[in-house]
């Protein structure tokens, strides 16, 4: 059963399908959550590669293209 990430209640309704995954909306807090609630995380080796490239003054666009990581994530 899907639970709200905020309140952990099960009072959810189907909201929309995004990138092939069903999203649910909490009836209490109005926030949405995914079916499994898992986010895509990058491996430690990929994160270190991006960080090393950034410290070696590679451009953000170049890093995004080489490693396949979105620009805003690199900036963050």
Predicted confidence pLDDT, tens digits, the chain (76 residues): 677 766 667 778 888 888 788 888 888 888 888 776 666 678 888 889 988 998 998 888 998 888 888 888 888 7
Q: For 60, phi and psi rounded to 5 degrees?
A: -65, -40
CA distance 53 to 66: 10
Residues with Cβ < 8 Å from 5, sequence gap 6 or more? 31, 33, 37
Locate 31 and state its tokens: 């926030």
Cα 35 to Cα 18: distance, rounded to the nearest angstrom: 11
Whether pTM exceeds 0.75 = no
């Amino acid at each position: 059963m899907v639970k709200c990430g905020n309140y952990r209640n099960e009072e959810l309704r189907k909201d929309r399908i995004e990138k092939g995954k069903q999203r649910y909306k909490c009836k209490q807090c109005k926030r949405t959550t995914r079916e499994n609630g898992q986010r895509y995380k990058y491996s430690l080796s990929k994160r270190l590669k991006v960080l090393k490239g950034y410290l070696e003054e590679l451009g953000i666009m170049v890093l995004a293209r080489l490693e396949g990581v979105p620009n805003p994530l690199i900036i963050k």
